[in-house]
Amino acid sequence: MSNPASRENGVDGPITINGETVRAIDEIVKRYPVAEAALLPVLHKVQDQLGWLPVSALDWVAKRLGLPKTRVYGVTSFYTMFKRQKPGKHRIEICTNISCSLLGAEHLRDHIAKKLNIKPGETTEDGRITFDEVECLGSCGTAPVMLVDDKFYEKLTPEKVDDVLDKLNKDDLEAGGND
């Protein structure tokens, strides 16, 4: 009988952690007196390579650092940046916390949702864009703000948001389009 969890957690084929990631991880582990302490940066490195953290990646990390799998899972699920669902090619995260909210962030959130035709937390049907509403991004002096693929966009207006979305579309088309 197979573990139903592996089905629930989506596509989970075998993964290959590339040499560059492995080397980076080995360097990171050396910075700590115990391997466990490297868990957060190591998970970041693996996620940087894979785009998310499938079951097999958690297994790999647990083995590499000599940790119980439950501990790795517990940590992964505690921190919001670790993605347990495969995200779209691009990630748009808009802050709606207090300073951004005062300057209309909810309007922008609804604007983007309408434009992408998805709710916050979802990925577009073509798997291209994952959109989410997030907590304070530490950019309150230039509110409202959003992160697109880890890059800050500040003092947003609907027009600025449109420009960013259009540019994403254009870049993808130029890069081959059929992603």
Partner 1 sequence: MAKVTLTIDGKTVQAEEGSTVLEAASAADIDIPTLCYAKDLEPYGGCRMCIVKVEGIRGMPPSCTTRVAEGMKVTTEDDEILQARRMVLRLLMADHPSDCLSCPANLECELQALTKKLGVREHGLIHLDRQATLDESHPVFIRDMKRCILCAKCVRTCNEVVGAGAIGLINRGHRAEPAPFLGTGIKFSNCESCGECVEHCPTGALYYREPGPEPDYEVSTICPYCGTGCGLVLGVNKGKVIRAKGDPDNPINQGHLCVKGRFGSYEFVNHPDRLKTPLVRKDGELVEASWDEALDLVVQRFKESKGDKFAALASAKEPNEDNYIMQKFARAVMKTNSVDHCARLCHASTVAGLAASFGSGAMTNSIEDMEQAEVVLVTGSNTTENHPIIGNRLRHAIDKGTKLILFDPRDIPLAGKAVIWCRQRPGTDVAWINGLMHVIIEEGLADLDYVRERCEGFEAVEELVKSYTPERVSKITGVPAQDLVEAAKLYASGKPATIIYSMGITQHTTGTDNVKSLANLAMLCGNMGKPGGGVNPLRGQNNVQGACDVGGLPNVYSGYQKVTDPAARKKFEEAWHTDLPAEAGLTITEILEAAEKGEVKALYIMGENPMLSDPDVTHVEKALKATEFLVVQDIFLTETARLADVVLPAVTFAERDGTFTNTERRVQRLHQVIPPLSGCRKDWEIICDIATRMGYPMSYESESEIQDEIAELTPSYGGITYDRLDRGDQLAWPCPTKDHPGTPILHTKKFTRGKGKFFAIEYISADELPDKDFPMVLTTGRILEHFHTGTMTRKSKSLHALVPGPYVEIHPADARHYKIRDGEKVRVSSRRGSIELIAKVGRVDRGLIFIPFHFFEAAANVLTNPAVDPVAKIPEYKVCAARLEKSA
Partner 2 sequence: MTEKILTARFEKPDSYRLSSYVEDGGYEALKKALSKTPDEIIDIVKAAGLRGRGGAGFPAGVKWSFVPKESEKPKYLCVNGDEGEPGTFKDRYIMELDPHAIIEGAAIASYAFGAHVAYIYIRGEFKLPIERVENALAEARQAGFLGANILDSGYDLDIWVHPGAGAYVCGEETALIESNEGHRGMPRIKPPFPAIVGLFGGPTVVNNIETLSYVPHIINKGPEWFAAMGPEKNGGTKLFGVSGHVKRPGLYELRMGTPLRKIIYEVCGGMRGDKELKAVIPGGSSTPILTPGEIDVNMDYDSLAKIGTMFGSGAIIVIEEGTCIPRLAARLAKFYAHESCGQCTPCREGVPWIAKILDRVENGMGLPGDLDQVLKICDNIQGKTICPLGDACAMPIRAMIVKFRAEFERHVEEGGCPFGPTPTPWDSES
Catalog residues that contact partner 1 under the rule CB under 8 A. Answer: 3-6, 8-9, 55, 58, 66, 68-71, 73-74, 77-78
Q: How far is the C-alpha of 52 from the C-alpha of 58, rounded, in Å?
A: 10
CB of 83 to partner 1, least distance (A): 14
Site for partner 2 in 94-123 (CB under 8 A): 96-99, 101-104, 106-107
49 binds partner 2 (CB under 8 A): no
Taking CA atoms, 68 is separated from 2, 41, 52, 77, in Å, by 20, 17, 20, 15
Residue 114 interacts with which of partner 1, partner 2, none, CB < 5 to 8 Å by class: none
Taking CA atoms, 38 is separated from 7, 29, 31, 67, 91, in Å, by 29, 5, 8, 11, 26
CB of 126 to partner 2, least distance (A): 26
CB of 69 to partner 2, least distance (A): 14
Q: Which is nearer to partner 1, 59 or 172 (CB)?
A: 59
Q: How far is the C-alpha of 56 from the C-alpha of 16, rounded, in Å?
A: 9
User: Is residue 136 within 8 Å of residue 95, measured between CB atoms?
Assistant: yes
Q: Which is nearer to partner 2, 53 or 116 (CB)?
A: 53
86 binds partner 2 (CB under 8 A): no
Nearest to 43 by CA among 17, 12, 68, 6: 17
* Residue with token string 């959003």: 146
Q: Which residues bind partner 2 (CB under 8 A)?
A: 31-34, 36-41, 43-44, 74-75, 78-82, 96-99, 101-104, 106-107, 135-143, 147, 150-152, 157-159
